[in-house]
């Protein structure tokens, strides 16, 4: 058996880190090369420049629904914002009406 080249831990650490970074850089270059020659990538089509429209079309005025009884405009706006954040348009809201919630009453009765 031969003797180790070095027993200094700092030199061993530097050698190991150098090997690791060389492997990481070579993997990065390989990924970039594969990305550059990717045959499954969609071809980019040139965007044709369309002639500008003569006059902008005016957007229709939104139809304001009557305010539900007992709900303020802030509550309606908060509900519309929540529906929009869920991925729907605010126009998807047909009506806003409170539900009869007797859950707490019923759960209290069920425990007795």
Residues 6+ apart with CB under 8 A from 81: 90
pLDDT band at 22 (very low <50, low <70, confident <90, very high): very high
Q: 31-59: per-residue pLDDT in tens?
A: 999 988 887 877 777 777 666 666 667 76
- List the chain domain ranges: 8-37, 70-98
Mean pLDDT over all residues of the chain?
A: 79
Tokens of 101: 């919630």
pLDDT band at 28 (very low <50, low <70, confident <90, very high): very high
């Amino acid at each position: 058996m031969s003797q180790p080249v070095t027993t200094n831990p700092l030199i061993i650490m530097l050698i190991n880190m150098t090997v690791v970074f060389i492997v990481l850089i070579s993997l990065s270059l390989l990924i970039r090369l594969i990305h550059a020659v990717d045959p499954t990538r969609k071809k980019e089509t040139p965007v044709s420049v369309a002639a500008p429209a003569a006059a902008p079309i005016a957007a229709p005025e939104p139809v304001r629904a009557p305010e539900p009884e007992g709900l303020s405009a802030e509550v309606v706006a908060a509900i519309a914002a929540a529906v929009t954040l869920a991925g729907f348009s605010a126009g998807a809201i047909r009506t806003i009406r409170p539900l009869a919630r007797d859950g707490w009453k019923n759960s209290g009765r069920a425990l007795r």
